[in-house]
Chain A
Amino acid sequence: MKNKMLRSVAVLVAVGLSAPVLADEDADLVINEEIEITVRAPAPDHTENLSEIFSGWVFRSAETQAMQMDDFDNPGMIGVESAMADWAAVDGSEGKSCASCHEDAETSMKGVRAVYPKWNEEAGEVRTLEMQINDCRTTRMGAEEWKWSGDDMVDMTALISSVSRGMPMNVAIDGPARETWEKGKEIYYTRYGQLELACANCHEDNYGNMIRADHLSQGQTNGFPVYRLKTASLNSTHKRFRGCIRDTRAETFAEGSPEFIALDLYVASRGNGLSVEGPSVRN
């Protein structure tokens, strides 16, 4: 009932206003009246230039915010459902499914999203969830790799994220991951392209400000994968990075490139303390 009303309010708002609807920046996020999401937190020490960190949810319009409050209204949950089928489906030469080894995702994957990207000792590299999933597919299942931003991959990251919702992001940046983190930090502050803009120009110096019709957030990744209303699809972090760099009239990096993996770790670390939110909803 409450939800129905919310939805009709959202429709009214959408019809009545052509200008971007400003966010309710003080709103709190509770999903399904059950999962409490930390959308504001003190900045971690390694994020020197911010005192407080905010989820991108805070900067979205009231109706976009509302879509994430109930899984029935969150279009990203369709991806989660579809990944549940993949989770149980046997694929590849070894005759195995994810469930063969990991059993119930809700239990085995709880907390995983919060610590990724993560250093993998055996492989000697920082791995994103996408890389880890493909490693299981190729080396343990004898199955084909999924494309970085393909539906099956993004849906699977949505499933794995969804079972950690409400848990604080806590990626490790010390030890062997440090070098990758430093590289990501350098990219974050580099002014790319003919517009000579760094991530920091928009997401550190100007969050909360409008840039033309867009209300700038801190560009946090705790909400990923993100269901974007504009493209009506779930999006990976690397797809978002690519779009942001392209918009500076620069040559982007490829999805899955060492540069984006480093940036992924660095940006995730700036959000340590915010809750895992994915799949989230943004415009």
Chain B
Amino acid sequence: MKHRALTLACAVTLTGAAWAETAPEAVSYDYGAVAESLSGAPGDPEAGRAVMVSRGLGNCIACHEVTALSDAPFHGEVGPMLDGAADRWTEAELRGIVANAKMMFDGTMMPAFYKTSGYIRPGDAFTGKAATEPLPPLLTAQQIEDVVAYLLTLKE
């Protein structure tokens, strides 16, 4: 509630002005965690929910089961269930995990969602054709914040 009001107020006062966004290559990870909002703005949990289930965006449920998202079909079981994620991790840790989980879990299968280079044979989305780095990150700074805001609602 508080967040909503804040987002709205800011949106009104700052229309057109850019937030202080942190570029993917400028993110600083502290033991895998990222303290500051990547977009400079708070996240919207409703938008984050949509990113989590969308195949073209986060597609988080391809690998994770989330009880609160059971209305979306087909949850995978490659990663741990995310119920109670907010009890296990702080906001900064969740931000770090979503931005680049490899900083928190060495060699993890979870993709880095806020990264633009350092890939082997990077492709142009799902076309199978070559793409030149830097690539657009899988999620924007604001989408990461939205997902983090959603994850923070997952309490048991």
Contacts and interface: CB of A to CB of B under 8 A. Distances in A.
A147 interface: no
B24 interface: no
Contacts of B129: 251
B123 A246 contact: yes
B119 A193 contact: yes
A210 B76 contact: yes
B79 to A, nearest CB: 10
Interface in A9-26: 18-20
Interface stretch (B30-38, B58-66, B142-150): B58-66
Contact of B73 (A19, A206, A247): A19
Contacts of B77: 209-210
A166 B135 CA distance: 47
Given A19-B74, A192-B120, A246-B123, A211 B111 contact: no
Contact of A249 (B61, B63, B78, B123): B123
Contact of B122 (A194, A206, A209, A211): A194
B129 to A, nearest CB: 6
A251 B76 contact: no
B125 A249 contact: yes
A196 B116 CA distance: 12
Contacts of B127: 246
B121 interface: yes
Contact of B120 (A206, A246, A247, A250): A250
Interface in A213-248: 213, 242, 245-248
B135 A246 contact: no
B128 interface: yes
B131 interface: yes
Interface in A183-198: 190-197
A193 B128 CA distance: 9
Interface string A173-207: 00000000000000000111111110001000110
Contacts of A247: 126
A246 B128 contact: yes
Given A194-B122, A194-B123, A209 B76 contact: yes
A123 B54 CA distance: 50
B115 to A, nearest CB: 8
Main secondary structure of the interface of B (DSSP, over half): loop
A246 B127 CA distance: 7
Contacts of B112: 196
Contacts of B119: 192-194, 196, 250
Contacts of A195: 111
Nearest to A208: B77
Contact of B128 (A19, A191, A196, A242): A242
B130 interface: yes
A211 B128 contact: no
Nearest to A245: B128
A192 B128 CA distance: 11
A240 B109 CA distance: 21
Contact of A206 (B78, B123, B126, B128): B78
B77 to A, nearest CB: 5
A210 B65 CA distance: 10
Contacts of B122: 193-194, 249-251
B121 A192 contact: yes
A251 B75 contact: no
Interface of A: 18-20, 190-197, 201, 205-206, 209-213, 242, 245-252
12 contacts: A193-B119, A196-B111, A210-B74, A211-B62, A211-B63, A211-B78, A212-B74, A213-B73, A213-B74, A251-B129, A251-B130, A251-B131
Interface of B: 55, 59, 61-63, 73-78, 109, 111-112, 119-131, 135, 138
Given A249-B123, A250-B121, 19 more contacts: A192-B119, A194-B138, A196-B111, A196-B119, A201-B109, A205-B109, A210-B78, A211-B78, A212-B59, A212-B61, A212-B74, A246-B123, A246-B126, A246-B127, A249-B125, A250-B119, A250-B122, A251-B128, A251-B131
